[in-house]
Amino acid sequence: MSLPQAHAGENSQSKQQTILIMGDSISAGFGIAKDSSWAALMELKLKDVNSHNRMINASISGETTSGGAHRISKLLKQHQPNIVIIELGGNDGLRGSPIKVITQNLSRMIVQSQQAGAEVVLLGMRIPPNYGQRYSELFAGQYQSLASEHRITHLPFLLQGIAAVPGMMQADGIHPTLNAQPIMMQNIWQLIEPML
């Protein structure tokens, strides 16, 4: 009787997981204390699941999809993540970069992650409507298209329920406040948890 019980105990212990975040200032915690960012909050939750779990936040303020695509190969080899969270594109959009280029860069990152054996979570962004309706729609739509094409998990809009809500955005109107971080973390955690 004791052997099956021991075996059941082993199964209940989740395997060690490594999560790599490829993001920009929104994931780097711009304007707030680093240990209060959604990524830092998720790391605590991750450690609760298994103390050996690792979170590598490779997010850089100002990062673009081309920068991420350039960096990801080395990071995948170095950390060998089980899950890669991609939160990029916002800076490209604010610069008016061609949608085709943004999509190609994101696709390259997704494919490289999958080839390295990682599951991918894509966090969608939107840009202000003053960039023109067509561009704004194409920008937002590319995340859904990429998720369908590569059969990956995605969040349509990372700042859903945060953007335009009083107290949730910093004065620049681009970066979420301290109050928004737990909401973002929970929205992403719901996608990550089944993968653990």
DSSP character string of 108-137: HHHHHHHHTT-EEEEE-----GGG-HHHHH
**What is the average per-residue pLDDT within 131-156?**
96
User: Rounded to the nearest 5°, which phi and psi values hold at 48?
Assistant: -65, -35
Tell me: pLDDT of 6 over 60.
Answer: no
Q: Return the residue matching tokens 């993001």.
A: 23
Query: Which position among 24, 25, 37, 92 bears the catalytic label?
Result: 25
Give the strand order in the sheet containing 119-123: 54-57, 18-23, 83-87, 119-123, 153-155
**What is the average per-residue pLDDT within 136-164?**
96
175 is catalytic: yes
pTM of the shown model: 0.92
92 is catalytic: no
Among 57-61, 76-80, 92-96, 127-131, the minimum mean pLDDT is found in: 127-131
CA-based R_g, the chain, Å? 18
